Structure 1
């Protein structure tokens, strides 16, 4: 079965919504499951294992669905390598090293900041200042993150161990936003082709990083007797979390755009928190308040933007601008 990338059909609105919901639920479940793995191996080794397996699988699926011609990077190898390093290297390493030093639910909550991170990156790229509601939402989110990371004891911000994991997770979230936005620069490519070739670049980056870390003695691998117990969790984070979820995410992003797709990221912390509660995890009052503020900031930002777009004066301005083109 062979077809060109440009001819690959995109899912409709319902299909895109389903794909993004599936991806974000799996992303949320991946955090607590990864925490179990990270107790036995370092984040770099786990990430290399994930995409060292996932990337070849993506390439095989791509060759089957679109033909071997789709495997060619079309002169864009450097860009694909950079995007893969950001999305599969930067996001996973910053996020999961942060999780190693804190709690998986915190990583999922910080990941929900990606819509606001996308607003800031869009501002830096276009020079157009975001609406005041976005800044209010950002302040609420930052307050929530502070409460989350300090459990209400603001003086802990001076402690290296309290702030560093959160900063690493935020940086990881920014890497994933840039990777998701990068798909727009490949308009003639299917989500499968973008995923396969960029993940291959990410796998090469991770292999080089792992080789350097191994030479320096920073790699930590499980004991042989521990592998059978880790196998179910590894199968989930590789086949479900790295293959099915990432491909579903890119399919949804291609259909609705990065900015709209980022709104679904709110599902990630809800899933992670649900899993934690089911496993008997308890949260302090300030931690719950911090998580609520982060989610409230995202809701306020989304509702404010929808209301502004619905105002008659905003619609008239858009019509006038289109007439002047």
Structure 2
């Protein structure tokens, strides 16, 4: 898995990324009532404490028990998993709790920019202009969508700390997603399973620290049973299916392009609202159109580089096998003609 912008889009990749963002978008309204009775750390531990063993079992079944070994990458997987599953979930959910969901959607729309800046810093290659244009369109679209065309109403509710928390959480997820490039020979399932296991270990360490300080809010048994339907959705679709589809999609399109699909999350939330009877406003429709346009803009004139490179290598090799015509003419001048006297044993040049 690499992060090159030259990845080609496939329907499988698009479907995988869309399904992942749909599951995450639907998870926000489901998680809101759960967080009234459970802190984000306990919620993350419940979700990935169940999801990680499922990933491991699926990996052992599909690829064999030998693939469960981290092969010397244990510390790296612990770090990446802690960033992705602990850092993102805890900081993002807590930031949303301290502010408003609109700010969470807007901050998540910044993730493609964060990915582009990190890739630029690492590689020294500036992202394509169309990527910046697509990002700008996407951010405007998310703001219009989440405010129904009235972004000024957010001005009086801006709080620096929650926004910084969410930006940090978003950066954690970008780094986790880009970390898959360090395992080019691994399948998306293997990276997901072993990194999520590292993430659970990180969440456990954080839970022990906060639990010792009495900062965890754990529901009693009766309340926990009442939350099981919501928790089941937060575990299976929005943790197991979503994360696996996300890593599968990024394998084909790269982190920079894949991150733009994050902006489909508010569209999913909007669809859930419509299903519950919400009437769409003009600002929401305009914002949704801009978000979809941003995905199209980012793919304008995108061509897979690998096939072109292979084609150039093919023609270069073919041309190298073509005889030099000047050399052939010089040879013809110095070689006895097959039709000359005394050359009955000579063979024709061509």
Q: Do the two structures share a fold, i.e. TM-score over 0.5? A: yes
Please tell me the TM-score bracket, short chain as reference: 0.7 to 0.9
Q: Distance in 2 between matches of 1:151 and 1:285?
A: 13
The equivalences for 1:129-168 within 5 A come to: 129-132=126-129, 134=131, 152-153=152-153, 156=156, 160=159, 163-168=160-165
Shift of 1:14: 2.8
d(CA) in 1 for partners of 2:15, 2:268: 16
Bigger fraction of residues in helix:
1
Matched, 1:263 2:254: no
CA distances 1:59-96 after superposition (whole Å, capped 9, x unpaired) = 11111111111111111111111110111111111111
| CA deviation map 1:203-229 (0-9, x unaligned) | 000000001000011101123332222
Assess, with a 3 A threshold, how the Cα gap between structure 1 residues 155 and 183 changes in structure 2: closer, same or farther. closer
- Report the RMSD for the aligned CA atoms in angstroms: 3.4
Deviations 1:146-175 (A, max 9, x none): 886995157536x53xx4333322222221
In structure 2, the partner of 1:18 is 15
Q: Does 1:250 align with 2:240?
A: no
Measured at CA, do residues 125 and 195 of structure 1 come closer, stay the same or move farther in structure 2, by a change above 3 Å?
same
Deviations 1:180-209 (A, max 9, x none): 111111011011110010000000000000
Residues 78, 168 of structure 1: alpha-carbon distance in 2 compared, 3 angstrom cutoff: same
- CA, structure 1 residues 138+61, in 2 after alignment: closer, same or farther (shift >3 Å)? closer
Note if contact 2:135-2:260 (Cα within 8 Å) is conserved in structure 1: no
Q: CA deviation at 1:23?
A: 1.1
Q: Rate the CA distance shift 1:154–1:245 in 2: closer, same or farther, 3 A.
A: closer
Unmatched segments (≥5 aa) in structure 2: 1-8, 317-350
**Deviation readout 1:245-266 (Å, 9 max, x if unpaired):** 1111111212332223223223
Q: Normalized against structure 2, the TM-score is what?
A: 0.73
Match of 2:167 among 165, 170, 194: 170
TM-score (norm 1): 0.78
- Structure 1 residues 32 and 109: CA distance shift in structure 2, 3 A: farther
C-alpha contact 1:86 1:175 (8 A) present in aligned 2:
yes
Q: 1:222 to 1:283 in 2, by over 3 A?
A: farther
Mapped pair 1:58 → 2:52: no
Aligned to 2:196: 199
